[in-house]
């Protein structure tokens, strides 16, 4: 089995719904928790909660426009080049990559997708995504379909950080997060007023000392909110607002997963 086939099988297995949910929330509190059950009954009038379903518009990414389409998933682009060239492409300059893809695909790699591939190559090649915020930030932008700006500092949102980290975990998980990056990601959470980090950002700790917030209640309610996508509209508490912000992050992760799932079959026909 070659490198492409192994990576393809690995990501298909990871996208199994049950396994993916477990990987996102390995320490989630059990559903039977009294407070969780009570909250669920209040929000659903005693009915069973409806699981969160992420819907998106039909994808226009095809096997023929994969390298040019701005919505192509970064990891699918990585696998497409690994399938055609193997790891040789990691060492190519921009001109070489443009020339070879122009010869071997319908058209050369597009400008935005080139930035995505540069971010992916960084993850393959060096450890600085996990250790230096100056590298993490532009990579996170590219992995979220945005052009990185190397002249003006860009600050990713918590959701963008989560998506970038989820993609990085598909490529490698052998590098520990540096203290600098933990502090940086804590600052991003504070800037976005998200005080309870969730997986894959659960290694980040946000100091809430002195703040009027019940973190234990949030963690207790979160499993139900994560599954159902429901936070009562009439609840204007600090805890409810935090749950809504956490849900935004979780939904972004689910949308990224669905995009990856939808585009993976293109590799079998490209």
Q: Cβ–Cβ contacts within 10 Å for residue 166, how many?
A: 23
Q: What is the pLDDT of residues 176-188, one digit of tens each?
A: 999 999 999 999 9
Query: Which residue matches tokens 């207790």?
Result: 220
- pLDDT for the residue 152: 85
Task: Label residues 180-199 b or e (16+ Cβ within 10 Å = b).
Answer: ebeebbbebbeebebbbbbb
Contact 157, 145 (CB under 8 A): no
Q: How confident is the model at residue 233 (pLDDT cuts 50, 70, 90)?
A: confident
- pLDDT for the residue 42: 36
| Averaged confidence pLDDT in the chain | 84
Measure the CA–CA gap between 78 and 155, rounded to whole angstroms.
25
Contact 169, 257 (CB under 8 A): no
Q: What is the pLDDT of residues 242-266, one digit of tens each?
A: 999 999 999 999 999 999 999 999 9
Contact 177, 130 (CB under 8 A): yes
For residue 44, pLDDT over 80 is answered with no
Measure the CA–CA gap between 155 and 259, rounded to whole angstroms.
24
The domains of the chain are located at: 3-268
Q: What is the pLDDT of residues 86-116, one digit of tens each?
A: 999 999 999 999 999 999 988 899 999 999 9
Q: What is the pLDDT of residues 117-171, one digit of tens each?
A: 999 999 999 999 999 999 999 999 999 999 999 888 899 999 999 999 999 999 9
Q: What is the mean pLDDT of residues 74-78?
A: 97
């Amino acid at each position: 089995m070659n490198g492409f086939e192994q990576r393809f099988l690995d990501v298909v297995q990871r996208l199994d719904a049950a396994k993916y949910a477990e990987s996102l929330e390995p320490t989630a509190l059990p559903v039977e928790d009294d407070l969780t059950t009570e909250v669920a009954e209040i929000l659903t009038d005693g009915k069973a909660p409806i699981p969160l379903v992420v819907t998106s518009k039909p994808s226009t990414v095809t096997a023929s426009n994969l390298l040019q389409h701005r919505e192509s998933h970064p990891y699918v682009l990585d696998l497409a080049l690994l399938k055609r060239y193997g790891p040789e492409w990691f060492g190519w300059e921009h001109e070489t990559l443009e020339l070879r893809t122009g010869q071997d695909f319908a058209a050369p790699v597009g400008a935005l997708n080139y930035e995505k591939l540069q971010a992916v190559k960084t993850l393959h090649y060096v450890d600085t995504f996990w250790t230096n915020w100056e590298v993490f930030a532009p990579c996170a932008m590219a992995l979220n379909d945005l052009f990185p700006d190397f002249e003006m500092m860009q600050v990713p949102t918590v959701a963008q950080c989560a998506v970038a980290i989820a993609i990085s975990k598909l490529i490698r998980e052998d590098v520990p997060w540096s203290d600098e990056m933990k502090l940086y990601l804590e600052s991003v959470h504070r800037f976005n007023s998200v005080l309870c980090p969730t997986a894959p950002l659960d290694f980040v700790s946000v100091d809430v000392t002195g703040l009027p917030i019940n973190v234990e209640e949030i963690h207790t309610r979160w499993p139900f909110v994560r599954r159902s996508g429901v936070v009562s509209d009439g609840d204007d508490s600090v805890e409810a607002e935090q749950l809504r912000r956490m849900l935004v992050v979780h939904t972004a992760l689910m949308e990224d997963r669905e995009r990856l799932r939808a585009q993976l079959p293109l590799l079998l026909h490209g």
